[in-house]
């Protein structure tokens, strides 16, 4: 079944790309998961070496591909269809599953407090878990405040800041409904409606970032074209002017708000409590503690190297309760 679904997804991408390749690629995203979606919380896909407590090292893949649809301004929402594959071979308790679903991000400004907004992410998804041989339908919805004023300390998601060091506080509340529609063990079948909360903090150190030569030339070209004197002049004259003003070795430092990340340290605790359950075997409370340090070796944030610690479980990702250290290469689009 997995091979058939993967083939259909690949065929759909190839077919669509033949019709509108550039436009399609602009809407494609690569992340680890799609249950949360603030601008600094799109978790990157992971390739890693794991070091569990009581077994050998192993290879790990947590990666997903999504397609983002045009934002619906009337609903203050945008939608992304996604496919995620998780495979961890030799942790204390194995992880192997795939998910197929639709996520939606919502944002609402508070009229009484224009600098404060509420941001939420909801998903509907199908989970096929090979580890316990189960099939589930899942609905999630997570909400958090976002304070939009620039500063060194931020509540909620990422905002532009004129500081080289920033700290983010990320409280989140929500719920999860998981309906196990098929499982080998009869005790697993049924539903579990859980309350969710998490509290975390992230310390971000940014690096000095310079405009590329291409960016400087593009910005100057756009500026000159807005001037009346250049409207009737030949394109070659414009190109020669830009090349003379912006030589190949010219460097210009960006404003601090546009500097990219260098190092990021993160810690969070999430708890899930069963509110209503119709299963003979379920967890009343599911904790998950994570801590990580991430290095961004290149100028953009799409590639990173991280070292993390995980203690607990995540039923949405099919991660059973365990403790392990993780060294990973991360990437996203």
Residue 114 burial by CB count (10 A; 0-12/13-18/19+): exposed, middle or buried?
exposed
Q: Output the CA–CA distances (angstroms, integers) from residue 192 to 132, 269, 273, in the order listed.
A: 16, 21, 10
Asked if residue 83 belongs to a domain, the reply is: yes
Query: Dihedral, CA atoms, 229, 233, 238, 241, nearest 10 degrees?
Result: -70
Alpha-carbon gap, residue 308 to 84, rounded angstroms: 21
Alpha-carbon gap, residue 318 to 333, rounded angstroms: 24
Q: Same structural domain for residues 112 and 145? A: yes
Alpha-carbon gap, residue 299 to 19, rounded angstroms: 33
Using one digit for the tens of pLDDT, what is the confidence trace for 150-190? 778 888 766 678 888 999 898 999 999 999 998 887 878 88
Q: Same structural domain for residues 111 and 230? A: no
Position 213 scores a pLDDT of: 74
Q: Same structural domain for residues 129 and 240? A: no
Give mean pLDDT, residues 280-305: 89
Angle between helices 235-245 and 213-225 (to 10 degrees): 130
Alpha-carbon gap, residue 191 to 92, rounded angstroms: 26
Query: Dihedral, CA atoms, 174, 170, 104, 44, nearest 10 degrees?
Result: -120
Give the tokens for residue 251.
């460097």
**113-129/134-147 β-pairing:** antiparallel
Q: Same structural domain for residues 48 and 142? A: yes
Question: Minimum mean pLDDT among 70-79, 87-96, 162-171: which range?
Answer: 70-79
CB atoms within 10 A of CB 22: 7
Q: Same structural domain for residues 268 and 193? A: yes
User: Could you tell me the CATH number of the domain that includes residue 57?
Assistant: 2.40.160
Position 12 scores a pLDDT of: 45
Give the tokens for residue 329.
């290469």
**153-155/134-147 β-pairing:** unpaired
Asked if residue 51 belongs to a domain, the reply is: yes
Alpha-carbon gap, residue 65 to 45, rounded angstroms: 9
How many structural domains is the chain composed of? 2
Higher per-residue confidence, 287 vs 109: 287
Q: Same structural domain for residues 99 and 180? A: yes
Using one digit for the tens of pLDDT, what is the confidence trace for 96-143? 888 999 998 888 777 767 778 888 889 999 999 988 888 999 999 999
Asked if residue 195 belongs to a domain, the reply is: yes
pLDDT at 76 over 70: no
Asked if residue 15 belongs to a domain, the reply is: no
* DSSP string computed for 251-267: --BPPGGGPPEEEEEEE
Higher per-residue confidence, 74 vs 42: 74
Asked if residue 62 belongs to a domain, the reply is: yes
List all residues 6 or more positions away from 78 whose beta carbon is below 8 Å from its beta carbon.
68, 69, 70, 71, 72, 104, 105
Asked if residue 253 belongs to a domain, the reply is: no
Position 8 scores a pLDDT of: 42
Q: Same structural domain for residues 152 and 237? A: no
Q: Same structural domain for residues 169 and 82? A: yes
Half-sphere exposure of 202 (CA within 13 A, CB side): 18
Domain that holds residue 100: 27-206+260-331
Position 197 scores a pLDDT of: 95
Using one digit for the tens of pLDDT, what is the confidence trace for 15-61? 444 444 456 666 777 767 666 654 444 567 777 665 666 666 566 77
Alpha-carbon gap, residue 98 to 84, rounded angstroms: 5
Asked if residue 151 belongs to a domain, the reply is: yes
Position 202 scores a pLDDT of: 92
* Partners of residue 72 on adjacent β-strands: 77
Asked if residue 251 belongs to a domain, the reply is: no
Q: Same structural domain for residues 230 and 97? A: no
Comparing CA positions, the residue from 45, 31, 28, 33 lying closest to residue 329 is 45
Q: Same structural domain for residues 284 and 232? A: no
Using one digit for the tens of pLDDT, what is the confidence trace for 243-278? 777 777 777 787 888 888 999 999 999 999 999 988
Q: Same structural domain for residues 225 and 125? A: no
Question: What's the pLDDT band for 13 if we cut at 50, 70, 90?
Answer: very low
Q: Same structural domain for residues 32 and 101? A: yes
Position 56 scores a pLDDT of: 63
pLDDT at 329 over 90: no
Comparing CA positions, the residue from 318, 320, 333, 281 lying closest to residue 86 is 318
Evaluate whether 78 touches 72 at the Cβ level (below 8 Å): yes
Using one digit for the tens of pLDDT, what is the confidence trace for 205-233? 999 888 777 777 777 777 777 776 666 67
Q: Output the CA–CA distances (angstroms, integers) from residue 182 to 130, 134, 175, 179, 188, in the order listed.
A: 12, 6, 22, 9, 8
């Amino acid at each position: 079944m997995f091979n058939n679904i993967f083939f259909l997804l690949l065929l759909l991408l190839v077919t669509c790309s033949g019709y509108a390749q550039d436009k399609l690629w602009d809407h494609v995203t690569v992340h680890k998961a799609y249950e949360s979606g603030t601008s600094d919380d799109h978790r990157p896909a992971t390739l890693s070496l794991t070091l569990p407590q009581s077994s050998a090292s192993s290879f790990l893949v947590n990666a997903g591909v999504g397609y983002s649809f045009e934002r619906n301004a009337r609903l203050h929402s945008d939608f992304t269809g996604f496919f995620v594959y998780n495979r961890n071979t030799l942790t204390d308790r194995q992880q192997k599953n795939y998910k197929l679903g639709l996520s939606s991000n919502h944002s609402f400004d508070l009229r009484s407090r224009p600098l404060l907004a509420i941001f939420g992410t909801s998903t509907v998804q199908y989970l096929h878990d090979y580890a316990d041989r189960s099939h589930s339908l899942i609905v999630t919805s997570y909400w958090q405040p976002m304070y939009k004023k620039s500063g060194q300390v931020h509540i909620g998601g990422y905002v532009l800041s004129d500081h080289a060091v920033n700290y983010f506080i990320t409280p989140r509340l929500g719920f999860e409904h998981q309906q196990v529609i098929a499982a080998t063990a009869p005790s697993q079948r049924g539903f579990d409606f859980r309350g969710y909360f998490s509290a975390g903090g992230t310390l971000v150190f940014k690096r000095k970032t310079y405009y590329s030569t291409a960016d400087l030339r593009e910005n100057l070209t756009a500026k000159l074209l807005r001037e009346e004197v250049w409207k009737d002049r030949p394109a070659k004259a414009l190109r020669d002017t830009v090349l003379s003003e912006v030589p190949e070795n010219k460097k210009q430092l960006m404003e601090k708000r546009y500097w990219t990340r260098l190092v990021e340290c993160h810690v969070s605790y999430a708890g899930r409590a069963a509110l209503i359950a119709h299963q003979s075997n379920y967890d009343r409370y599911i904790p998950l503690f994570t801590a990580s340090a991430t290095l961004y070796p290149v100028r953009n944030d799409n590639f990173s190297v991280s070292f993390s610690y995980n203690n607990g479980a995540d039923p949405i990702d099919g991660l059973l309760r365990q403790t392990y250290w993780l060294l990973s290469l991360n990437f996203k689009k």
